[in-house]
Structure 1
Amino acid sequence: MNMKSFEEKVLEGLIYSLSDSKVSLDDCNSIGVAVSGGADSISLLCALNNILPKSITLKAVTVNHNIRAPEETAGDADYVETLCKSLNVPCVRYEIERGLVEKKSVEDKNGIEDSARRLRYEKFRHFMENEKVEFLCLAHNKNDQEETILMRILQGSGDLGGIPVSRGKFIRPLISIYRFEIENYLSEKNISYRTDSTNLENEMLRNRIRNILVPVLDQHFNGWKKAVEHLSEKSRRDNEALDGFLKEALVEIDYEEKESSVTFNGDVYFSFDNAIKDRILMEAVKHAGASERIPQSFLSRWTEKKYAEFKKTEGSSGIQFTLEKGLFTVEKKKQVATEEGFFAIIEKPGTFSAGNCTFEVSGENHKVTIRCNEKEIQVSGLEFPFAFRSRQPGDEVKNSDGSMRSLSKILDGWKVSDLKDRIPVIQKVGSPLQDIKCIWGSLYGFSDWIVVE
């Protein structure tokens, strides 16, 4: 039996992902491909360049997020441009200003990776509009799919459908192809690719799953991949059915979307089964704009009528739920005076302002002194540029033994109360790790946490 070649599988995946969007390959004039420089996207670029009919124009886009060391992150984009030029594929390069990802992370109270993704997709949409690209191919593969489902299981998510083969104008031709097939193809074609050094570091959940959990499953649990695939397929089918019921339910509850809020008839809402109520709340939360993942425990409480009537209003992850006179409101939580997210990149000595703090920075690389409100702190091992910012979701700080501790737990232990968002965090720039050097608690009368290398 003849095995399909890698490029035949990519073509099959391309046709399938387009058909999922109700489009055939013959209908396309221009297709884009997002290329980071890694093996997945490089294989997709090269395969598409070989398999697309001459009637279809292929265009590439690469985004430099500037969240790693300059020589590494710029090197990735340089390599993509060089390869595209050798293939005669037009390439558009976008540069995200250094520090902007971290700044957006603080402002939106999201993790670094989530903020980077949002900015990246903004560039993708700009690219598609400017270059008249009808569909953009993304390089998610079957390993990514399995890791995503495992992540959602560990996070307690109700959606185990995984990464969709298409979403609007974004399509994923590699979603049924394993990473080893990608690497074999590149090896056979003698095509090089860039490796993100942070893929080997385990601060992020996906990396821990990829580097720790998956090898254990491979070694001790034969058939786990097939089981995850079946679970995902069942979840997708259940979701399709429930989404149909959701559309009907939204009409029945007089669901109304406003700028950053949603209102609906609470009495009718509470008459539905919990599975439908969950989906109504998630639909509303998505529109209102949660700052981070909403805990399932919070959603579950607000599917119970007695709890909602007793509580009346409650917030989580930047979202406020309110039940008043039978009207259920889901809205973006209004910022209170104590929530003062701030962010500044300090590139050299001088005087700066961030949040309520005007501070002076002196010294040189490896030993920096910061003064504010007659308080002073010295941080050894710190280099310019560095970030002076407020806390953000997922922040972790090194213990003396090299293990990591949640910044939020440290602040809770200090009993800082409503000063949580005012206490400065001092962090190295040029690394996606939670490489925090100092928590300046003494500025407000608490302890300091200084990481000594």
Structure 2
Amino acid sequence: MKDKCSLLERVRQTIKEYRMFTSKERVLVGISGGPDSTALLHLLSRLKDEYEFQLWAAHLNHKIRGREAEKEARWTEQFARKLKIPIIMDSFDVPLLAARKKLSLEEAARQARYDFFERIADRLKIDKIALGHTASDQVETILMRLIRGCGLDGLSGIPPVRGKFVRPLIRTFRGEIEEYCSENSLHPCTDSSNKDVFLLRNRIRLKLIPYLRENYNPQICRVLFQIGEILREENDFFRRETEKVFNSLCEEREKDRIALGVQKLNGLHLALRRRVVREAIRLIRGSTRGVEFDHINSALKISEEGRGRLSLPGGISVRIDSGNLLFEKKRREEEIAFERLLNVPGRTDLPEVGLVFDTEIIYQRPTSFASGGYEAYLDLDKLKRPLFLRKRKEGDKFQPLGMRGRKKIKDFFIDLKIPREERDKIPLLISKDRIAWIVGYRLDENFKVTRNTRRVLRIKVSKSYE
């Protein structure tokens, strides 16, 4: 076995710089069987004696890719045993989770994985959880968020350390990982879904980055990685400053209510004003998913003019009250309203319910269909454009896929035991005056793909990014 000293040394430096580990810690390593996590487990096993680690490995089968995933699970178990590292194996029905919680498959898989790691960490009293994110993942994340739109938080990319979670490969590029695996005869598994260019991350990795490298800058990945490093450090500074300023402006702070002094807020630099408003939304709502640049500016306009009212995604209202900019979480009975044209092909944001719709026209019938409820294939020539998304209306009916008769949307939701307060948050895809898809749940029989279909509309729904 050839000793890849440079990579091992870089991992040592990364661990030291970000203070990822101290001696004698109990460390859990997430391993999928792919090159990144395989190399990570191998590297940490070589550093085990140096840091006096107690190492465990953990693998979760997401039940998305059938036999391929089962093969990966078997390989991963054998690899861990070869390294003499105990491994915890489990499986979880991610497509079912995606349907129940109205998540994309990617988001549901991520949630299931992190829940799995944290459960094991609690049971085994784990100090750190090591994940295999690399510098290449960092570059892809930065480009993905830049394309979708974000601020410094998003452009800072993946944090090297977040609580118990550490990423020792965050300064190592994928090519170096693959070389390490080859030279150490590791033979990791290959995930076939990584070739699906409908997914934005894959499209960035397989098409955009090679194009930028060939036509603009051969070192584009290193340049973008360095930019992410700089922005993360600057964002950390601004975050601390924002916290100080926010506390000085906060006149009232309760679970569902925050009031900021308008006079002091209006006197701040615009960059700080935006951050303070964003922080108020985050604290009262728990996240800023679906909150866009225009939302923040609209809230600031209310503060500047001293009048007006604004409804934000996630049930937050903003208004002036007694000289304060007041953020309140709406009561459940307050209605959520939305109606939006669906861009075909392209992207459509539906911030009222925190969802993003990506559409693509396929000129041949797919050989297989995704099992997740948040991806749909429809016969484009049966649809009447323009298509649009709206909430349910009284008397809405559709013909559920596989059924002959029509059914009231209300009865369909009751049968699925969907809580009343959640029903208005479920978008309906409308073709002229017909419901083509109850998003995340069921297609209409009349718009299904058949052997006679010539053009397919593929729709993939995901949660909005912060």
Q: CA deviation at 1:224?
A: 2.4
**In the superposition, relative to structure 1, how do residues 314 and 441 fare at CA in structure 2: closer, same or farther (>3 Å)?**
closer
- Residue in 1 aligned with 2:160? 165
**In the superposition, relative to structure 1, how do residues 255 and 240 fare at CA in structure 2: closer, same or farther (>3 Å)?**
farther
Q: CA deviation at 1:76?
A: 2.4
- Residue in 1 aligned with 2:53? 56
The one of 363, 370, 374 equivalent to 1:401 is: 363
Task: Give runs of aligned pairs for residues 293-372 of structure 1, distance below 5 A.
Answer: 293-305=290-302, 309-316=306-313, 318-325=314-321, 326-330=323-327
Matched residues in 1 for 2:122 and 2:249: separation?
A: 36
- Residue in 2 aligned with 1:12? 13
Contact 2:196 2:202 in 1 (8 A): yes
The one of 442, 448, 451 equivalent to 1:450 is: 448
Matched residues in 2 for 1:168 and 1:18: separation?
A: 12
Matched residues in 2 for 1:268 and 1:254: separation?
A: 10
Which residue identity is paired with 1:311?
A: G
Contact 2:290 2:354 in 1 (8 A): no
Superposition RMSD on alpha carbons, in Å? 3.7
The one of 91, 109, 121 equivalent to 2:114 is: 121
Deviations 1:181-228 (Å, cap 9, x if unpaired)? 111111111112121111111222211111110010111112323432
Which residue identity is paired with 2:13?
A: E
Matched residues in 2 for 1:284 and 1:426: separation?
A: 43
SS at match of 1:62: strand
Contact 1:265 1:327 in 2 (8 A): yes
Instruction: Calculate percent identity across the aligned residue pairs.
Output: 24
Matched residues in 1 for 2:118 and 2:125: separation?
A: 10
* TM-score scaled by length of structure 1: 0.72
Contact 1:315 1:333 in 2 (8 A): no
SS at match of 1:203: coil
The one of 189, 195, 205 equivalent to 1:194 is: 189
Deviates more, 1:87-96 or 1:302-311: 302-311
Matched residues in 2 for 1:339 and 1:305: separation?
A: 21
Matched residues in 1 for 2:84 and 2:157: separation?
A: 34
Which residue identity is paired with 2:120?
A: F
Q: CA deviation at 1:170?
A: 0.9
Matched residues in 2 for 1:98 and 1:52: separation?
A: 33
Contact 2:95 2:105 in 1 (8 A): no
Q: CA deviation at 1:121?
A: 1.5
The one of 40, 54, 62 equivalent to 1:65 is: 62
Deviations 1:213-245 (Å, cap 9, x if unpaired)? 001011111232343234323322331331232
Q: CA deviation at 1:413?
A: 3.3
Q: CA deviation at 1:3?
A: 8.4
* TM-score scaled by length of structure 2: 0.71
SS at match of 1:324: strand
**In the superposition, relative to structure 1, how do residues 259 and 38 fare at CA in structure 2: closer, same or farther (>3 Å)?**
farther
Q: CA deviation at 1:395?
A: 4.2
SS at match of 1:36: coil
SS at match of 1:242: helix
Matched residues in 2 for 1:70 and 1:253: separation?
A: 54
**In the superposition, relative to structure 1, how do residues 280 and 104 fare at CA in structure 2: closer, same or farther (>3 Å)?**
farther
Q: Any stretches of 5+ residues in structure 1 without a counterpart? A: 341-390, 428-438
Contact 1:308 1:323 in 2 (8 A): no
Deviations 1:41-70 (Å, cap 9, x if unpaired)? 00000111112127321111122222x232
- Residue in 1 aligned with 2:408? none
- Residue in 2 aligned with 1:388? none
The one of 140, 146, 155 equivalent to 1:147 is: 140
Task: Give runs of aligned pairs for residues 240-255 of structure 1, distance below 5 A.
Answer: 240-254=236-250
Which residue identity is paired with 1:69?
A: R
Contact 2:31 2:59 in 1 (8 A): yes
The one of 258, 267, 270 equivalent to 2:266 is: 270
The one of 419, 431, 443 equivalent to 2:392 is: 419
The one of 200, 214, 220 equivalent to 1:219 is: 214
Q: Any stretches of 5+ residues in structure 2 without a counterpart? A: 338-352, 366-374, 403-427, 437-445, 452-466
SS at match of 2:386: helix
Which residue identity is paired with 1:401?
A: Y
The one of 86, 104, 107 equivalent to 1:111 is: 104
Contact 1:274 1:303 in 2 (8 A): no
- Residue in 2 aligned with 1:359? none
**In the superposition, relative to structure 1, how do residues 141 and 414 fare at CA in structure 2: closer, same or farther (>3 Å)?**
closer
**In the superposition, relative to structure 1, how do residues 76 and 246 fare at CA in structure 2: closer, same or farther (>3 Å)?**
same
Q: CA deviation at 1:139?
A: 0.7
**In the superposition, relative to structure 1, how do residues 255 and 163 fare at CA in structure 2: closer, same or farther (>3 Å)?**
farther
Matched residues in 1 for 2:134 and 2:166: separation?
A: 12
Matched residues in 2 for 1:335 and 1:406: separation?
A: 33
Matched residues in 2 for 1:52 and 1:62: separation?
A: 20
Deviates more, 1:172-181 or 1:202-211: 202-211
Q: CA deviation at 1:131?
A: 1.0
SS at match of 2:300: coil
Which residue identity is paired with 1:172?
A: R
Matched residues in 1 for 2:104 and 2:199: separation?
A: 10
Deviates more, 1:33-42 or 1:247-256: 247-256
Deviates more, 1:184-193 or 1:271-280: 271-280
**In the superposition, relative to structure 1, how do residues 293 and 443 fare at CA in structure 2: closer, same or farther (>3 Å)?**
closer
SS at match of 1:419: coil
Deviations 1:234-287 (Å, cap 9, x if unpaired)? 322331331232121121122766446644334433332221222223333333
Which residue identity is paired with 1:126?
A: R
Matched residues in 2 for 1:426 and 1:393: separation?
A: 23
SS at match of 2:116: helix
Contact 1:140 1:174 in 2 (8 A): yes
- Residue in 2 aligned with 1:343? none
Matched residues in 1 for 2:306 and 2:213: separation?
A: 48
Matched residues in 2 for 1:423 and 1:327: separation?
A: 47
